[in-house]
Structure 1
Amino acid sequence: MRFSVLISIYCEENPEFLSQALLSIWDNQNIKPNQIVLVKDGPLTPDLNAEIGQWQNKLGDTLVSIQLAENVGLGAALNAGLEACEHELVARMDTDDVSMPERFEKQVRFMQAYPDVTASSAGLEEWSEDLNSRIGKRTLPVDPELLKIFAKKRSPLSHPLAMYRKSAVLAVGGYPPLRKSQDYALWSLLLVKGYKLANLPDVLLKMRTGDDFFVRRGAGFLKHELALLRFQKEIGFLNMREFLINCLLKSVLRLSPSFFKKFAYRNLR
C-alpha cells in the first residue's frame, strides 16, 4: 500500500535533528514512503534551507517542499501539506524525532488489516535531546473502545507517529484551527463523527523530550489547553461535567511548580 509522510518545519528547528529525522524515515526504514511532503511554515534559516536542499537532491521528486509565506502554526501548515499528499494513507513525522526502522512496515500492515480504523499510532520512548539518555516510555490504549474512554482525559494517539486516512481527515475539515493541540482536537472530532481510532502495542519512535519541555507546558500553555477543552465541549465530545473537571485538573497541573509537573508527567499518566 502506497503512502505519504507529512512533515512541517519552522525557523527555530535544528538542521541536525532534521537530518536525523529524515534518515530515520528514509535510509533506515524497512519500507520507504512513496512521497514525503515537507511544509516550510514561514521563512527558514539558511542552514535549514541548505539541509532541505541536500535532501531534495538526494530524493528528487519523492520529496515535495511547500513554502508558506508566513508562519501559520502546525495545524494550518499540515492542512496545506495534506492537500499535496498523493496517497490515501498519510504518516505524520516531526523534525526532531527518530522513527524505528520497522515503523512504517508495521503501521502500513496494521492499516491494511483493519480498514475500519481511520487513524492509529503506537508506543514511543522519550529521550534526552542528544538521544543519549532514555527518560521514559509512553503507551496508549490499544482497544478502540478503551481508547474512546481514555480520550476524554488525554490525547488518544501520539501525533508524531500517527498514521491516518486522508479522505476521512479531509471529510471532517482537516486539523481544527487551534494554535496548539490541533491533533487532539482532530482525534476528538473524528471520534464524534463515528470514526474508529486504535493503537499498535509496539514502540515505534524516539521522541526528544528536553528539560525545557516542562517549562514550555506551564502557565502559558494553559490557555491553549482551555481553548481545546472549549472546542471539545462545542463539538459534543465533552459534556459540562467533563469539561469542568478537565479545566480544573489542567489548571492545577499547569500552574504547579516544574518539579511537580515532571513527577506527574512521568509517574501519574
Structure 2
Amino acid sequence: MKFSVLMSVYKNENPEYFQRAMESVLGQTLPPDEIVLVRDGKVPDSLQTVIDKYLGNPIVKYCPLEENVGLGNALNEGLQHATHEFVARMDTDDICLPDRFEKQMRFLQENPSVDMLGGQIEEFLEEEENVIALRNVPCEDGEIKEFIKTRNPFNHQSVVFKKEKVLAVGGYIELHYLEDYYLWCRLWKSGATFANLADVLVKVRTSEDLYKRRGGRKYFKSFKALEAYKKGVGMIGAGKKFKNLCIRFVQTHTPNFVRKWGYNRMARKTVKK
C-alpha cells in the first residue's frame, strides 16, 4: 500500500524544527512513497536553505506558492499533487515516532473499510524528552462519532486518510484554526468510517503561544460557524449547540493562564515529573 505525506511550511517555521520533522519522516521503519511539501508563501533564506536540502530527494514533490494562502488552502493545494490513495498528515515542527507509518498502514491494510486513521500524541516543551502532556482521543468509530459532537476527535498531525474521500467532501476549507475539525465533520456527514490507534504516534512541539492562539473573537467566530454546520447536518440539536458555544465562549474569552489550566485539566492528561 503506497502512501503520500502532506506537509505545509511557512515563513515563521524554525529551520531546525523543520529539519527534525523531515528527518523523522524520512527515517521511518516504513518510509513514505512520496512527500508533498507545500511552501505557503515566501520564507526567510535560512528556512529556504533547509528546504532546498531535501529537493534532491526523488520522493519529495515541492509545491512553492508565491503568496501565503493559509494552512487550509495550502493543504488543499498539496492534496491535488498527492499521487497515492492514502495521504498522511504531518506538521513541519513535530516529530513522528519511528514506527508511526508502519503501524498505521498495517492497520489500514487489515481494516480496509476505515477511511481515516489517527492516533495519540505526546506534547513536549523545548526538548523532546520534556513531555508535559498527552492528548488521548477515542479509538473506535462509534466513540469517535459521539466525541466529535463536542470536541475534535483526531490529532490532526497523526492522521492518514483516503485521498478521494477527502476530496469528495471538498477537501480542506479555510476556517481559522479549525480547518481539520471542519473536515472531520464533513467526513462524518458523508458516512466515513473512523478509527484511532491507542499508540502515541507523534511528539508535538508546544509553547505558551499555543494557549494564546486558542483565544480571541476570531477563534470563537470559527466555532460559531462550525457549530452551525453541525446542527445544520443533524449531528447535534439546538441544546447541544448552545452548550458547546457556551463552553467555547468561556475558552476564547478568558485570560491565557485560565485557558491553559482548562486545556490541561479537560483536553489533555498532564504528565507529572
TM > 0.5 fold call: yes
Aligned residue identity for 1:89: F
* Distance (Å, rounded) in 1 between the aligned partners of 2:194 and 2:250: 29
CA distance in 1, matches of 2:121, 2:177: 21
**1:171-222 CA deviation, whole Å, 9 max, x = no partner?**
1111133232111001111111111111000011100111121112122432
Residue identity in the other structure for 1:266? N
Structure 2 residue aligned with 1:153, among 147, 150, 153? 150
In structure 1, what is the equivalent of residue 254 of structure 2? 256
Whether the 8 Å CA contact 2:182–2:226 is kept in 1: the answer is yes
Runs of 5+ in structure 1 lacking a partner? none
1 CA distance for matches of 2:51 and 2:184? Answer: 30
RMSD between aligned residues? 1.3
* CA distance in structure 2 between the partners assigned to 1:260 and 1:201 by the alignment: 29
In structure 1, the residue matched to 2:228 is 230
Other-structure match for 1:218: 215
Q: What pairs with 1:46-195 in structure 2 (closer than 5 Å)? A: 46-57=45-56, 59=57, 61-195=58-192
Distance 2:221 2:40 in 1: 23
Q: Secondary structure at the match of 1:20?
A: helix
Return the alpha-carbon distance in structure 2 between the equivalents of residues 38 and 47 of structure 1: 17
| CA-CA distance at 1:147 after TM superposition | 0.9
Partner of 2:242: 244
1:72 and 1:129 map into 2 onto residues whose CA distance is 28
SS of equivalent to 1:191: helix
Q: SS at 2:31's partner residue?
A: coil
Report SS of the residue matched to 1:268: helix
- Give, as a single letter, the amino acid of the residue that structure 2 aligns with 1:154: R
> What amino acid sits opposite 1:259 in the alignment?
F
- Structure 1 residue 259, shift from structure 2 partner: 2.3
SS at match of 2:61: strand
Q: TM-score, normalised by structure 2?
A: 0.93
> Unpaired runs of 5+ in structure 2?
268-273
Q: Which runs of 4+ in 1 moved over 4 A?
A: none
> SS of 2:228's equivalent?
helix
SS of the aligned residue for 2:115 comes to strand
> In 2, are the aligned partners of 1:75 and 1:182 still within 8 Å (CA)?
yes
* CA displacement 1:215-251 (0-9 Å, x = unmatched): 1212243223223223333343333222211111100
What amino acid is the match of 1:20? Answer: R
- Higher mean alpha-carbon deviation, 61-70 vs 157-166, is at 61-70
Whether 2:44 is the aligned partner of 1:45: answer: yes
Q: 2:185 is aligned with what amino acid?
A: S
Report if the CA contact (8 A) 2:2-2:33 is conserved. Answer: yes
8 Å Cα contact 1:74/1:179 also seen in 2: no
Shift of 1:132: 4.2
Q: Deviations over 1:127-179 (max 9, x none)?
A: 00333421111111111101111111111111011100001011111113323
Q: 1:14: which partner in 2?
A: 14
How far apart in 1 are the matches of 2:229 and 2:13? 29
What secondary structure, in the 3-state scheme, does the structure 2 residue paired with 1:122 have?
Answer: strand
SS in 2 for 1:50: helix
- Alignment deviations for residues 109-133 of structure 1 (CA, whole Å, 9 cap, x no partner): 1111111111010011010033342
Q: Which amino acid aligns with 1:22?
A: M
